[in-house]
Amino acid sequence: MVIYIKLFLTAVLFGGTFIAARIAAQHVGPYSASFLRFAVASFFLVLFAGLATNKLPRLRKNQIISVILLGLTGVFAYNVFFFSGLKTISASRASLIIAASPVFIALFAATFFKEKLSIKNCVGIFLCISGAIVVISRGNPLIILQGGVSSGELYILGCVASWVAYSLIGKSTIRDVSPLSAVTYSCIIGDLFLFFPACSEGMFRDIAGYSAADWLSIFYLGFFGSVIGFTWFYEGIKKIGASRAGVFINFVPIAAVILAYFILGEKPDRSLTSGAVIVISGAYLTNKKG
C-alpha cells in the first residue's frame, strides 16, 4: 500500500513541475532556470547515492557516451524547451502535450527494440495523437496546416522529442547502470553543459533579482520534481514492475490541470477538456500490456 501512495504522490509531484516551471519561466531565462534546477537536483542525488551505496559507482568507458547522451537529451534539451515553452503557454496545456510522449516512445521502441504493439496499443496511439492535435490546435486542427501553432507549443513538442530520445537511450543504458546512477550522472553532465549558456544568458547578473517565488519554484523542480519524484518512481518500478508503476504516470496531466486551476487560476476551455480525456485515454491504452 505504501508504494502505491508514493507512486500517486509522484504523479502529483511531476504534475506540480509544470506549475513551478510556469512561475519561474516568467522571470528566469530557460538556460538559467534549467541550470539552477539541476544544480539542486545533482547535489541531492549525489547525497542520496552516497547514503545508499557509500559512493557513486564509477562509469566504465563503454557507459560514458550513453550517460552523456542522457544528460544532453533528458536534462539539457528537455529543460531548455520546457522553460521556453512555459514562458508563453499554460501549464495545463503543456502537460497534455507532453502526455503524448509514451506514444512516440512506444512507436520507436517497436521500431528499434522490436517491442510488440497490441491492437489496444495501436488504438491508444491513435487516440493520444488525436488528443494532442486537439490541444495544440485549440480545437481547430486546420490551424496546424495553416502554420498557426505558437512557438510555445513548438517548444513543448521539442520536450516530447527530447524525452523520447532520453527514454530510448535510457532503456539500453540501465541494463549496465543502476537507475539512480544513470539519473545522477545524467543530471550532473547535463548541468555542466548548461553552465556556460546560463552564464551567457546573464544568470549571475540577474540572480539577485529573482523573487522568493522563483527560488521556491526552482527548489521544487530540483528536489521534489526531480530527486524525490524519480527516486519514488524507480522504487515503484523495482517493487511492482514497470507496467504497473507506469500506469500512475497517466495521473500527471490530471494533477497538472487541477493544480494549475487552483494555483495559477488557469481555467480549462473546451478544447483542453476534450483533449485531456482523449490524450489520457490514449496514453493508458498505449501503456497497457496485452
The pLDDT, as a whole number, for residue 147 is 61
Prediction pTM value: 0.89
Q: How many domains does the chain have?
A: 1
Mean pLDDT throughout 65-72? 91
For 258-268, how does the pLDDT look when each residue is reduced to its tens digit (9 = 90+)? 999 999 999 98
Average confidence score pLDDT of the chain: 86
Residue 140 lies in a domain: no
- Report pLDDT for 213: 97
User: Tell me: the pLDDT tens digits for 26-50?
Assistant: 999 999 999 999 999 999 998 887 7
Q: Is residue 224 part of a domain?
A: yes
Task: Report if residue 195 sits inside a domain.
Answer: yes
pLDDT at residue 44, rounded to an integer = 93
Mean pLDDT of 92-105: 86
Residue 289 lies in a domain: no
127 found inside a domain: no
120: nearest Cα among 262, 286, 238, 248: 286
CA-based torsion, 155, 153, 148, 136: positive or negative = positive
- Does residue 23 carry a pLDDT above 80? yes
Q: Which domain holds residue 208?
A: 2-102+151-161+174-267
pLDDT value of residue 131? 83
Instruction: Classify residue 130: in a domain, yes or no.
Output: no
> Given this model, what pLDDT does residue 275 score?
84
Q: Does some domain include residue 109?
A: no
**Is residue 285 included in any domain, yes or no?**
no
CA nearest 95: which of 144, 159, 25?
159
pLDDT digits (tens, 9 = 90+) for 170-196: 777 766 777 778 888 999 999 999 999
Q: Rounded mean pLDDT of 56-68?
A: 83
pLDDT of residue 121: 81
Q: What are the backbone angles phi and psi of residue 174, rounded to the nearest 5°?
A: -75, 0
Query: What pLDDT is attached to residue 214?
Result: 97
